[in-house]
A and B are shown apart, each in its own frame.
Chain A
């Protein structure tokens, strides 16, 4: 281990890797939220709730596929680069958000819904003003789980040329440079913890004062 290697890893390689990694995480989680939350909402509506079990099972299967296998499978279809990486990670991050969205919505007290409906709230208003705000802490906790997951599995994206912190880890392994390994893995862990804590705080902030435990 030399200081020089460490310096190169941390100050020359890491910023680029960190940026790429963040990009992968942000893009994946944004798309995952845009798909999962509406899907979760839809699956709890009376019209569609019979599909709930089927969709959750499909997502469970997707989730069960190891991250590495998923990334490898995306390669022949979408080639190299960030696109197949995002797709592979997306499949893996849908389940926690959909599941928590559904759990959050189902968990809204029927009495509150009954009263709100009885006062003349339309189903749309009920969803936006009552159900989603009350389910929000649980939805956010699903997003948190998915985010941590994507940060860690995201290191594998380097294998199909998407870059990110995985580059440092894989490079370090190939070149026998433990400094690179340390920087890549350390920053990955740090990023996961920061995001986790940050979302936790957000979760606390958006929980209405009347409902905090």
Chain B
């Protein structure tokens, strides 16, 4: 656990302190995101944790131990550090770059080589191709992967990441974020993550600390912050699409309802009776292999006056109106809006396991908002 107590940082020659009387405790094994506008002091706070910057007053403790009690180099060797500019040594190969901290710990050569290979593979890079390359031969996204691998080399319990994915293109960023989240499930490090992007904060954070002008404005889980922004600053910082952003926190399977009615492709004539019996407005069509291929509503069925072929065509036009149970609500919403329908089929693998309507999304968010 990292604990900041009454931290103040006053830079020489500046009238306003960069960080004012800030206290924060970061729980073990979680990702805590420090987020705020430029100049809010988030990087300064991060850098005080590994003593790249010394606070003017206040204490930083890690697992109850004051960071100033150890030699600053020793302290930093034990904390992973990733920065936006990455800072790979341009005159060293990728393998040598990853080996920097293990070498500082004087690990034996074989152990270092083994660990380096392990990390290159773990970061999803091509082992043989990457190991001997120089940083300038990699793309931005690959370089940042190496940056993360380097920070994890000696498996430090704490990682400090200062806008780590800020300089890579949006696609690579999404990949890196997903990869880090996947890794975190296994490695369970205490990660302090600085960003100015609220969406990244919501995605990455177990906890989010919103900062402004050197002060902590709100600290809580993404859900807490999106549900109850403490003041207008937080509300503005999150943006007017607060509730839409909140959809990101939920998965389709939390909001879905059971499928109303299933009909075989060959038995469409009896569909309306089946639907009425089941008391539902919608029927999903399955083919002879049992795979869901579309849906139609009772209203449409009746409008076509039982013309089975037209009903089938209508249903087939919604062949892609399905999402997986693991999809996020915004993705589901997007698919819903794409098709001229109020319904969306939910698949688990290939199997139809539920359906989702606009109303389901609304009631789910409404319930979570707690009004």
Given A118-B76, A121-B104, A208-B134, A111-B85 contact (CB < 8 Å): yes
Between-chain CB contacts (< 8 Å), 16 pairs: A109-B87, A111-B85, A112-B90, A114-B85, A114-B87, A115-B85, A115-B147, A116-B89, A117-B52, A118-B83, A120-B75, A120-B104, A134-B90, A208-B91, A210-B93, A210-B134
Q: Does B205 contact A (CB under 8 A)?
A: no
Q: A119-B150, A120-B101, A120-B104 are in contact. Are A211 and B52 (CB under 8 A)?
A: no
* A210 engages B86 (CB within 8 Å): no
Other-chain residue from B74, B75, B87 in contact with A115 (beta carbon distance below 8 A): B87
The smallest C-beta distance from A134 to any residue of chain B, in angstroms, reads 6
Interfacial residues of chain B within 42-86, with CB under 8 A of chain A in the complex: 50, 52, 73-78, 81, 83, 85-86
| Residue A76 is within 8 A (CB to CB) of chain B in the complex | no
- What chain B residues lie within 8 Å of A210 (beta carbons)? 90-93, 134-137
Cα–Cα distance between A134 and B136 once the two chains are bound (Å): 14
- The 3 A-B residue pairs with the shortest CB-CB distance, nearest first, are A210-B134, A115-B87, A120-B77
Query: Chain B interface (Cβ within 8 Å of chain A)?
Result: 50, 52, 73-78, 81, 83, 85-93, 100-101, 104, 134-137, 147, 150-151, 160
Min distance, Cβ A203 to any Cβ of chain B, angstroms = 14
Do B76 and A117 touch across chains, with their CB atoms under 8 A apart? yes
Give the distance to chain A from B166, nearest Cβ to Cβ, in Å. Answer: 13
| Number of A-B pairs, beta carbon distance below 8 Å | 79
In whole Å, how far is A208's beta carbon from the nearest beta carbon of chain B? 4
Classify the secondary structure of A's interface with B: helix
Name the B residues within 8 Å of A46 (CB-CB).
Answer: none
Given A112-B88, A119-B151, A120-B78, 16 other A-B contacts at CB below 8 A?
A111-B85, A112-B90, A116-B89, A116-B100, A118-B50, A118-B76, A118-B81, A118-B87, A119-B77, A120-B73, A120-B74, A208-B90, A210-B90, A210-B136, A210-B137, A211-B91
Residues of A within 8 A of B74 (CB): 120
CB distance from B225 to the nearest CB of A (A): 29
Minimal Cβ-Cβ distance residue in B for A129: B89
Check A122 for interface membership: any CB of B closer than 8 A: yes
What are the residues of chain A within 8 A of B147 when measuring CB–CB? Answer: 115
| Residues in chain B near residue A125, CB distance under 8 A | 104
CB distance from B92 to the nearest CB of A (A): 8
